[in-house]
């Protein structure tokens, strides 16, 4: 027994020498298994749930609201298709860059995987970018394009929007085409000149200046004889546009034949003023194809609009955000220009030509 024990003992001593590498090997295997399974869990966790922080420059903007609805819809659709839970934390910055910066701080502290930001001040996104870069959280900007210098700071910054020049050319082209087909539907008094007023969006917005310039340039290039009566800034807002239009109708009675508006909401404001003044024959054109814009188009109050493919716009935001969060390739249908920009396609929507009274 003793010997045996000794033997066992000595065998144990020798065994220890043999067993040690086995123990080390086993513990290595075990450690690897634990690590792999931890990674597996982490990967699983990443796969089953994504948190997206979304900040809107103003929640009461009609077009932004339309896009928000589609983002929510597309996130649900993605959840149904993949079983991956997508939590959207949507906040309204109410026109304050400071509020938006705080929202970004909160999103990051809550552990959001990706941010979708509709910047309040597109020239002042540096704080957002600093925070995102430090935390390693990618940012998908949309609708209000940060300046190129900021966009070039990190390869995890993206932008989704529409090409403003293309929008404006399409807006101009709808009038050019109509004028060629039926000049009297545009030159309402038949004096050989189309007298127009221009409603502009926010001055700091990349879309306002470009839309204003290129819609008019397209009319000129298309040989529509135009004359500007007046114009003004209504900051995308229906009520501000309505007030301006009311004033212009009083200042220039029986003169205005065409209202060119940088967006649908301001076009609707102009229509409100025209209705109040009981002036029914003025053509009004907008941009966006918002829900109320499309209703006005349907009823013939709005002559035409340029509509971005909002389904694609919203789904591009969701798919790009999800791809960033999962570190996966973006599906091919959302091809990015320079690996950074997604330009949403747009189309002209025009109502039946109005009858001149
Ligand atoms: C424009 C849009 C406007 C307004 C603005 C907000 O692209 O046409 O209606 O939503 O964005 O940034």
| Ligand 1 atom closest to the CA of 288, numbered from 1 | 8
CA 82 / ligand 1 centre spacing (Å): 32
Q: Ligand 1 pocket test: which of 142, 205, 261 has the largest number of ligand atoms within 8 Å of its C-beta?
A: 205
pLDDT(306) > 90: yes
CA 18 / ligand 1 centre spacing (Å): 74
SS3 per-residue string spanning 99-154? HHHHHHHHHHHCCCCEEEECCCCCCCCHHHHHHHHHHCCCEEEECCCCCHHHHCCC
CA 90 / ligand 1 centre spacing (Å): 18
CA 271 / ligand 1 centre spacing (Å): 19
pLDDT at 353 (0 to 100)? 53
Determine if ligand 1 sits within 6 Å of the CB of residue 288.
yes
pLDDT at 45 (0 to 100)? 47
CA 69 / ligand 1 centre spacing (Å): 15
Determine if ligand 1 sits within 6 Å of the CB of residue 145.
no
Residues paired with 159 in a beta bridge:
141, 341
pLDDT at 48 (0 to 100)? 87
Determine if ligand 1 sits within 6 Å of the CB of residue 263.
yes
Cα–Cα distance between 180 and 203 in angstroms, integer? 32
> Phi, psi at residue 352, to the nearest 5°?
-60, 145
Closest to 203 (Cα-Cα) out of 244, 235, 177: 235
pLDDT at 332 (0 to 100)? 87
Among 16-30, 162-176, 184-198, 229-243, where is mean pLDDT lowest?
A: 16-30
Please give the average per-residue pLDDT across 282-302, as a whole number.
Answer: 98
Protein residue with its CA nearest to atom 11 in ligand 1: 143
pLDDT in tens, 34-88: 333 333 334 444 458 999 999 999 999 999 999 999 999 999 999 999 999 999 9
CA 283 / ligand 1 centre spacing (Å): 21
Cα–Cα distance between 118 and 21 in angstroms, integer? 59
Determine if ligand 1 sits within 6 Å of the CB of residue 287.
yes
pLDDT in tens, 216-253: 999 999 999 999 999 999 999 999 999 999 999 999 99
In 3-state terms, what secondary structure has residue 209? helix
Determine if ligand 1 sits within 6 Å of the CB of residue 63.
yes
**How high is the mean pLDDT of the chain?**
89
CA 27 / ligand 1 centre spacing (Å): 60
pLDDT at 47 (0 to 100)? 58
Determine if ligand 1 sits within 6 Å of the CB of residue 163.
no
Determine if ligand 1 sits within 6 Å of the CB of residue 236.
yes
């Amino acid at each position: 027994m003793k010997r045996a024990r000794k033997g066992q003992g000595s065998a144990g001593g020798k065994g220890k020498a043999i067993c040690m590498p086995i123990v080390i090997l086993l513990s290595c295997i075990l450690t690897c298994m634990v690590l792999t399974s931890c990674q597996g869990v982490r990967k699983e966790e990443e796969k089953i749930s994504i948190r997206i922080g979304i900040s809107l420059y103003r929640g009461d903007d009609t077009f932004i609201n339309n896009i928000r609805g589609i983002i929510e819809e597309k996130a649900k659709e993605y959840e149904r298709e993949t079983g991956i839970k997508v939590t959207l934390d949507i906040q309204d910055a109410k026109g304050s860059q400071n509020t938006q910066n705080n929202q970004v701080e909160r999103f990051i502290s809550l552990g959001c995987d990706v941010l979708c930001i509709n910047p309040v001040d597109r020239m002042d996104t540096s704080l957002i970018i600093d925070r995102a870069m430090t935390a390693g959280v990618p940012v998908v900007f949309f609708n209000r394009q940060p300046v190129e210098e900021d966009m070039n700071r990190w390869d995890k910054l993206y932008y989704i929007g529409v090409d403003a020049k293309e929008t404006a050319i399409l807006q101009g082209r709808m009038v050019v085409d109509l004028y060629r087909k039926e000049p009297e539907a545009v030159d309402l008094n038949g004096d050989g000149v189309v007298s127009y007023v221009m409603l502009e969006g926010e001055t700091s917005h990349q879309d306002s200046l470009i839309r204003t310039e290129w819609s008019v340039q397209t009319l000129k290039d298309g040989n529509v004889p135009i004359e500007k009566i007046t114009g003004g800034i209504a900051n995308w807002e229906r009520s501000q546009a309505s007030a301006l239009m009311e004033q212009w109708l009083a200042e220039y009675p029986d003169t205005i034949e065409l209202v060119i508006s940088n967006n649908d909401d301001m076009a609707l404001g102009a229509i409100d003023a025209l209705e109040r003044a009981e002036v029914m024959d003025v053509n009004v054109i907008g941009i966006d194809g918002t829900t109320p814009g499309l209703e006005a188009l349907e009823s013939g109050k709005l002559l035409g609009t340029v509509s971005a493919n909002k389904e694609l716009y919203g789904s591009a935001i969701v798919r790009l955000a999800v791809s960033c969060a999962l570190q996966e390739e973006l599906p091919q249908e959302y091809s990015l220009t320079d690996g950074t920009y997604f330009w949403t396609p747009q189309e002209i929507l025009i109502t039946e030509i109005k009858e001149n009274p």
